[in-house]
Amino acid sequence: MADVALRKVVKRYDDVEAVRGIDLDIADHEFIVLVGPSGCGKSTTLRMIAGLEDISDGDIMIDGDVVNDVPPKDRDIAMVFQNYALYPHMTVAENMSFGLRLKHYPKAEIKARVTEAARLLDITDLIDRKPKQLSGGQRQRVAMGRAIVRNPKVFLFDEPLSNLDAKLRVQMRIEIKKVHQKVRTTTVYVTHDQVEAMTLADRVVVMNKGKIEQIGTPNELYHKPATRFVAGFIGSPAMNFIPCRLEDVGGTLQIRLTDRIAFALPPARAARYNALPRTDKLLLGLRPEHLTESHAHLGPGVESFDTVLDVTEPMGMETLVYFGLDGTPICGRVDPNAGAKDGAPMRLAMDLNNMHLLNEATGVVL
């Protein structure tokens, strides 16, 4: 068990900077998820923590010790790979005990640790099989078992669920969470799937183009995104961004979306945004769940408007509705009984109490 710290870590391949100065503190026992689109540098960061990639600049510390030049085997870490990387010629037990055997642990202890890990992962009866006789989910468990028996300071997961089908992925996600609750080892987990990130992490690190966009708990990222990238990346369906500007009408601050549609801002929001120049090009960020069917009695800060739906997607517990505002495609979530139909007009309501306002040029949430 240990904490991990990254200080201004940089990774350069020739003249391309894959990771551009990352600072990150991971506390003991913490489950950190690095998430971002492909090529954002998240896997490179993980591999640098593992010692599989050299660091071009900066420091990586495990348990307070700088490990920049420490080889992987001496970092006391364990890694689970996307394609499992099980040794094909060894049985499950041999795969799991390989690291311990290399370190000449006593046989009895190896057996005890393997048995315990197998029990934890529910693979006791597979222990004598070869990897090719296992299903994808079972292989993933063995790969995790191989990490657990080592009892390392840090677990590293590199997109471990990407090769599994959707149903198994959900199942294994819960499995991983359970394992972490039991062993409490500091974990760094890389994924491109924001749902995995949200469900597993104590804190999520959103990365983009080799930099950290934002670090926070899943709820913080969801409700208080710092940038347009985070706002758009976290949450599914993604947040809507509607071009808008602020204007003063008769002493109240209004947000104008189109020539026809403009709403007065709720007092709390008006106070927050009042200092902004009225000429700035802005974006209204609104999650689909804050764009619902209109009711007869709307609460304060909830404004209704009429539109014509393009497409509807019934999901069962809700129906997603898609429409356009001045050419901007927008998604809303309405009650399945609200009568939404493809191509039909509908009156929708916008909950401006949950709105975000972004600077279009900088992408910063204001």
Closest CB to another protein among residues 158, 351: 158
Q: Which two tokens stand for residue 165?
A: 């089908």
Among 1, 87, 342, 364, binds another protein (CB under 8 A): 87
Interface with another protein, residue 71, by CB under 8 A: yes
Q: Which two tokens stand for residue 251?
A: 């002493």
Among 21, 57, 58, 99, binds another protein (CB under 8 A): 99
Minimal distance in Å, beta carbon 79 to another protein? 5
- Which of 104, 306, 109, 80 is closest to 176 using CA atoms? 80
Interface with another protein, residue 136, by CB under 8 A: no
Closest CB to another protein among residues 83, 274: 83
Binding range to another protein, per CB under 8 A, among 18-26, 69-77, 163-171, 240-248: 69-77
Closest CB to another protein among residues 52, 170: 52
Interface with another protein, residue 78, by CB under 8 A: yes
Neighbours of 12 (CB within 10 A): 15
**Count of residues near another protein by CB under 8 A:** 23
Cα 8 to Cα 35: distance, rounded to the nearest angstrom: 19
- Which of 114, 48, 55, 124 is closest to 79 using CA atoms? 48
Minimal distance in Å, beta carbon 95 to another protein? 9
- Which of 53, 6, 57 is closest to 32 using CA atoms? 6
Closest CB to another protein among residues 83, 236: 83
Q: Cβ distance 91 to 130 under 8 Å?
A: yes
In Å, how far are 209, 241, 259 from 37, measured between CA atoms? Answer: 9, 19, 36
Return the axis-axis angle of helices 107-121 and 136-149, rounded to nearest 10°.
140
Instruction: Return the bridge partners of 359, or none.
Output: 282
Interface with another protein, residue 83, by CB under 8 A: yes
Among 103, 107, 119, 295, binds another protein (CB under 8 A): 103
Contact flags string 24-53 toward another protein, x per CB under 8 A:
--------------------------xxx-
Side-chain-side CA neighbours of residue 287 (13 Å): 16
Q: Where on the chain is the footprint of another protein (CB under 8 A)?
A: 50-52, 71-73, 77-79, 81-83, 85-89, 98-99, 102-103, 146, 150
